[in-house]
A and B are shown apart, each in its own frame.
Chain A
């Protein structure tokens, strides 16, 4: 059975006070606008929106703690590795200004490991963190704030055909269902003495050894999909245009939200076309670094 995300209605939630279609449209505008920039000054504007939405969402820290910590951890590690390797930002800057060079006290076959800390690398890491963090926070709020009973009608209301809209509804619920099935399989295999943390060997061997987890989960997902198709067929799905029981009506504030989203998007596109919002480092730091 498909399970849904942990949604509940929350009093005074900013995000839940809007029609879900309006919110999805705003989210789309936010996403593409954020992706248009690498300048951390611009990105901070989007981070501020994301934080505002998070703090006014009514989602409690307890509910979201694990997800937020995961995101912060993931984004931090991601940005840090980009900083260490110096890769990822090289398309955005041509010249680097060295702040400090850290050299290892040993050499390997004549090569001495070294880390160049440059203004560009450091600031690229910061920009990347702000960019991904803003998008991730806005994304993670969707399942907590969108009523699962309205997934289908929301996508239908956004202009998708009936079948695609219902498929989107099912897809949205696939992730928590997959997670539940994975946990059940993990428990069942642990009860047979399987210890994931003790898996050793080369990469191929390790992949083979997670077969007891991945095979049942995958087979379950396939069988589950067939069951869903049977259940839908047995209740006349797809025979013609369907009625969606729930009805969504735009209110003025929904139209305002869509307007604000579109304005941000158009403005962002315009700035981007004019060459503004590209990767930026504070000139003062360049001076300090001897640039």
Chain B
């Protein structure tokens, strides 16, 4: 047992300001060269476990700790955080929260500078670390100009440079496009093959299974529900809770009744002409700096009944494009019309009554003392009658499954719950068009599938558009897919038209998923794309 680099014995923890324990009776040991995938719903204690191992608990996050953690046989309770950090490297969910240096070189060197190594050794280790992840070309770049995937790799390089023997990754794929996620996973596999112990917390289970983790830990309500070989996972977990490869879901779902068909955007089936454009982009070009153009000649119309998925790599201009629809950005040339009116002639607040926009990060908008007040803010600004606001708030909370948190402060909720509050805040405004930027990032599978189902069945919306890195979300929900790369609209069509061309997808850094491949194969029989549970009954 003592040969294990990491041993966790009867670990439990309760945060100082909470009644219930976050994790209970966690015991396991991890081997050198092993990748241990840790999966589970939001709030099940995955991040708390990571914080206990890297020493942030109880040093930065106070509370009651039980049990012990041994790193190479030494109890971490007696170790300083700086000592732990030389043995245990941690890459956080959002690289933006981890990167400190202004240049990649400084960022990767940060830990080594703190260890007081000589300049020669620092340069040598930085170069080694960058070469290991094949990002030497980024060495002299500004960190804030990197794409999401590049930032994640730079954060990883900064940790690797300190040569830890244990690597903790807390949802490292959450903000990455599929190709960047695949590259990051390949790098992690290589590190494990070289002898590093890797613990990876991740909702995107299917993606991680591709690099063959040695074992999987499935957590629920602060406890280990399953720990063992990958093959055993699909037998013990509910396939509605964890996203398994499509073939496995199809096999399991055959034994269950066929899922009920959802009626998408019932509000779009009104008497108004379907040909009437709700939003129209006419040859739109834009750049933040006068001499650098980010969007080039975008032409498209959003019509009633459209459920549009916008796919494309990190930094391709997806968010910039969508911000034009609500008037937060105005085109440098061309024009955007919402309800036939140029966005240059309307305020954002005016457009908001037609088009609701859910931002990527919830923390930039939450401010109210209770969830209820947070949700009432938008409708109040739009001057909805008071009794209607009450109904709108309740309905929105029900959709995102947060009714019991109505009187809680939104800022005290978990990230996943905050994200759902931010979506509910826009739902409560009852706009005609809903636009969401990465609605599922940092969410567990069951939660996001539930709220996506509920949102698309709402009677008020005439069109929905969402930016996503999750190809399966486009496969399951969209009736139209936009592929954006380098600020250009590369493809615009039905999911089958756009997503069946795998080489074009790969050129746009979109990696086909098992569900997409299955749907493309079965398309001659189905005539449309379906979720895995539905494919099981075709």
Contacts and interface: CB of A to CB of B under 8 A. Distances in A.
Interface in A221-246: 223-224, 226-246
A195 B113 CA distance: 47
Contact of B100 (A194, A215, A228, A243): A228
Contact of B378 (A2, A192, A237, A239): A192
B159 to A, nearest CB: 8
A219 interface: yes
B113 A242 contact: yes
Contacts of B326: 191
A245 B80 contact: no
Contact of A191 (B101, B103, B162, B328): B328
A246 B110 CA distance: 12
B106 A236 contact: no
Given A1-B144, A212-B367, A242 B116 contact: yes
Nearest to B353: A193
Interface in A62-104: 62
A194 B363 contact: no
A245 B109 CA distance: 8
Contacts of A215: 366-367
A161 to B, nearest CB: 14
B347 to A, nearest CB: 7
A55 interface: no
A70 to B, nearest CB: 19
B113 A244 contact: yes
Interface in A163-209: 170, 173, 181, 184-185, 187-195
B113 A216 contact: no
Contacts of B80: 239
B381 A235 contact: no
Contacts of A228: 100
A188 B365 contact: yes
A193 B381 contact: yes
Contacts, number: 166
B110, B123, B364, B426 — most chain A CB neighbours (10 Å): B364
A230 B378 contact: no
Which of A148, A191, A226 has the most chain B CB atoms closer than 10 A to its own CB? A191
Nearest to B86: A236
Given A193-B353, A243-B113, A235 B367 contact: no
B431 to A, nearest CB: 10
Nearest to A227: B97
A1 B102 contact: no
Interface residues of A, number: 53
Contacts of A1: 95-97, 99, 143-144, 151
A152 to B, nearest CB: 9
A3 interface: yes
Contact of B363 (A211, A220, A237): A220
A241 to B, nearest CB: 6
Contact of B115 (A191, A234, A236): A236
A4 interface: yes
Contacts of A189: 365
A235 B114 contact: yes
A89 B324 CA distance: 50
A247 interface: yes
A187 B359 contact: yes
A234 B101 contact: no
Contacts of A192: 352, 365, 377-378, 381, 425-426, 429
A216 B426 CA distance: 17
Interface stretch (B10-18, B54-62, B256-264): B54-62
B82 A236 contact: yes
Given A1-B99, A173-B102, 17 more contacts: A1-B151, A4-B142, A185-B365, A191-B348, A192-B381, A193-B352, A194-B349, A212-B367, A212-B368, A233-B81, A236-B114, A237-B82, A239-B80, A242-B113, A243-B113, A243-B118, A243-B122
Question: What 7 A-B pairs are tightest by C-beta distance, nearest first?
Answer: A193-B381, A235-B111, A215-B367, A1-B96, A188-B365, A239-B82, A192-B378
Interface of A: 1-4, 62, 148-149, 151, 170, 173, 181, 184-185, 187-195, 211-213, 215-216, 219-220, 223-224, 226-247
Interface of B: 54, 56, 59-60, 80-82, 85-86, 89-90, 92, 95-103, 105-106, 109-119, 122-123, 142-144, 151, 158-159, 162, 290, 323, 326, 328, 347-349, 352-353, 356-357, 359, 361, 363-368, 377-378, 381-382, 411, 425-426, 429
11 contacts: A173-B102, A185-B364, A192-B378, A193-B378, A227-B92, A229-B60, A230-B56, A230-B92, A231-B98, A234-B89, A235-B159
